[in-house]
Structure 1
Amino acid sequence: MSSTTTAVILAAGMGTRMKSRHPKAMQRLGNQPMICHLIKTAQRVVDRIVVVIGPDMDELARLVAPHKTVIQTERLGTGHAAKTGLDILDAGKAIILYADNPLLTASTMRELLASQSDNELSLLGMKPRDPGQYGRIVTGDNGHVKRIVEYKDASEDERKISLCNAGMMCADVQHFKKWLADIKLNNAQNEYYLTDVVALAAQQGSVTYVEGTEDELAGVNSRAELAQAELRLQQRLRRQAMEQGVTLVDPSSIFLSSDTILAQDVIIEPNVFIGPGVVLEEGCTIRAFSHLEGCTVKPGAMVGPYARLRHGTVCHENSHVGNFVELKNTNLGKGGKANHLTYLGDSEIGAGSNIGAGSITCNYDGVFKHKTVIGERCFIGSNSVMVAPVKIDDEAMTAAGSVITNDVPSGALAFGRARQTNKDGKGRTLQETLRQKKEQG
């Protein structure tokens, strides 16, 4: 018999309480769809993943690929959804998971698996601060689970039970199939409840539960609950970062993405937003009010305050990106500086080069993107406009206020501005004329 363990993720719900055109499983958490968190966790524990989706969820199917998807053509409840996923399995163990429980950890999933080994069925429970409308886990004197009662079907005494069903459960595939074939439409929702298999399993043998925390197991069914899950995830990510040797000056004001890679001795100042695809290497500093996504910051580099790094950007060792500077698809070389009010897009900046305040690369002509290459130890004067494609070779300079449209040879000084003309007395006369017009209204 196969010893394969399969995670069957129920993700067919549209999430009407989200008031969204997108399936509930695709709502974003930590800058990625909720279901991606659960899949990433499950991959560390199980051998195979099957995702149950609804009709017309092609976008979700593409997102979870290459994992197998099956379509629940009729939404007849969680029991029907689980049966749809289990129908393609032959043997082994199955863990039934829900896409709206994205914060489940690998350790809890492993504990659920282990507890099932000596029991017919194992499930996850929790004792939330407000039990609300969660289903209640009814246990016997021996501590084993007798059944689960949904809130809408529960008596007043049953609603007082503090142990709530978190939804996830584990059992042998063939046992699951047998129980699911026997459940009935005998509830307030007129649906096949997955939870009804618990009483059937209890008749066959022992059913146990693993108790987790609300922070890990609470479901996400509304925008408000999504915000609460985001808060819990951010607290988890911040705690992990600090345990790895990262300094978060004001942790509560720093937003991390679930894929953020942080090395030790990184310093992140308050009010920093880190989007997807960011790597911060040892000893770099991200100063306050900066926004980063899709970029790498090398050791000793300093970014901000008030800086923006976009996709494809690499700030190399000991480089400096200052206030109100934006870099997109740019390599800023070792020791390179762009300290003030600058935009560098689709550019290569050599080691030790300095980009003056107010300088920009004109990388887009309305149809195509073009590249600017600046060599090593160059000095770009303030308010220089570099019209790509253009190359400025090593140790060259541009005069302040220049528009650079042609390549600049190594060591050259490029002037690209109109000659200044002074007209004696004209400034005073013009100001007096303007004041007179203002007084006249």
Structure 2
Amino acid sequence: MDGNQSHLEDILNTDHKTASIIFAAGKGSRMKDFEGNKTLLPLRSGQSPYEGSHPMLIQVLNCLPPGPKALVINYKKEDVIEVTRSLGLTYCEQPLLNGTGGALLASQEFLKTLDQDKLIITYGDTPLVRPATYRNMVKELTSCHLVVLGFSPRDKKQYGVLEIAGDTVRSIIEWKYWMTYSEERQKQLEVCNSGVYAVRKDDLIRYLPALEMRPHMATKERNGKMVEVEEFFITDLVELMHDGGLKIGYVMTEDENEAIGVDDLPTLIKAQKLFSTSL
């Protein structure tokens, strides 16, 4: 069997069994000079980085495996629907902007409709993940119940890190916690969390009630003011499922830029440059 045939069989064996959920609900408070939904920001810039063509969200959708897809929406939802109207997507409204776990909880009705047994969870502002990377994550679900996309940046600060024992992820530790660890312990935490996951659908549905029982209080900017809000974190699923006896694996990106999340103007400009050089 030659390499091209093997690659084609990989696609046929994994892609058509894969559904996807894409988070596109948040405002993006760090994108100070842009009032739109940040997933619609262009990867091909025009007169300014905020103007141009080929929205990040479209690139994410293009790279995901074929199969049913749902967008979780809230902020400027009409704009998101308008841009994606012809793509045959399901729209799940997140009533409150209550975190990544809240976005996942908002997609429960979509999950119940799926015949597919494997699912990708990703973000509309993480546009550079390669199709092959998504496929590798799905393939890992043959031996794992949930797979985390990890990466190794030059500077780990601000990122959540994977607590790994052997080939199993035990938990995801946020920066505000691991920053207090000893230098020796910090060096052992080598893999960072991209926020992209693959999961067996039935296992996810089974653990969503437990996730809903674990709210966190977080300080967020709302209408120009910092307020305390209740949020749910998708990262809690890793610990919950591991403690329940399920195997959590991980797949690494080819380089750290693949996992870039566009949160502010500098990362938008960087993503646009990376996208232009990849064409």
Fold shared, TM-score > 0.5 on shorter chain: yes
User: In the superposition, relative to structure 1, how do residues 94 and 86 fare at CA in structure 2: closer, same or farther (>3 Å)?
Assistant: farther
Aligned to 1:151: 175
1:148 to partner: Cα distance = 0.5
Report the counterpart of residue 249 of structure 2 in structure 1. 208
Give the C-alpha shift of residue 87 in structure 1: 2.9
Paired amino acid for 1:146: R
Quote the sequence identity (%): 27
For the 8 Å contact 1:105–1:216, the answer to whether it is kept is yes
Output aligned runs, 1:397-416, within 5 Å.
none
- Runs of at least 5 residues in structure 1 that lack an aligned partner in the other structure: 238-441
- The higher relative CO (CA closer than 8 Å, separation ≥ 6) is in 2
Q: 1:37: how far off?
A: 0.3
Amino acid at match of 2:96: E
Asked whether 1:23 is paired with 2:33, we answer no
- Amino acid corresponding to residue 265 of structure 2 in structure 1: R
Aligned to 2:215: 185
Q: Is the 8 A contact 1:83 1:177 kept in 2?
A: no
Instruction: For residue 89 of structure 1, give the secondary structure of its aligned residue in structure 2.
Output: helix
For residues 91-115 of structure 1, what are the alpha-carbon distances to aligned partners after superposition, in whole Å with 9 as ceiling and x for unaligned? 4221101111101110000000001
SS class of match (2:231): coil
Taking a change above 3 Å as real, the CA distance of residues 187 and 117 of structure 1, as seen in their structure-2 partners, is farther
Specify whether residues 147 and 67 from structure 1 end up closer, same or farther in structure 2 by C-alpha distance, changes over 3 A only: same
CA RMSD of aligned residues (A): 1.8
In the alignment of these two chains, the number of paired residues is 232
Partner of 1:232: 274
C-alpha distance after superposition, 1:221-275 (max 9, x if no partner): 00100011111112211xxxxxxxxxxxxxxxxxxxxxxxxxxxxxxxxxxxxxx
In the TM superposition, residue 177 of structure 1 has moved relative to its aligned partner by: 2.2
Following TM superposition, the consecutive aligned residue runs of length 4 or more in structure 1 with deviations greater than 3 angstroms are 186-190
Which of 67, 70, 76 matches 1:50? 70
Q: Give 1:143's aligned amino acid.
A: D
Q: Is the 8 A contact 1:41 1:106 kept in 2?
A: yes
Structure 1 or 2: larger helix share?
Answer: 2
- Residue 192 of structure 2: which of 160, 164, 188 is its match? 164
1:188 and 1:143 map into 2 onto residues whose CA distance is 31
2: CA distance, partners of 1:109 / 1:168: 9
After superposition, residues 227-376 of structure 1 pair within 5 angstroms as 227-237=269-279
- Residues in 2 aligned to 1:221 and 1:35: alpha-carbon distance in whole angstroms: 14
State how far apart, in whole Å, the 1-side matches of 2:264 and 2:57 are.
15
Taking structure 1 as the reference length, the TM-score comes to: 0.50
Q: Does 2:34 align with 1:40?
A: no
Give a deviation string over 1:40-97, Cα, whole Å, max 9, x none. Answer: 111xx13111110115410111112231111111011000101212332224221101
* 2:111 aligned counterpart, secondary structure: coil
Larger radius of gyration: 1
In 2, the alpha carbon distance for the partners of 1:220 and 1:167 equals: 13
Does 1:79 find its partner at 2:107? Answer: no
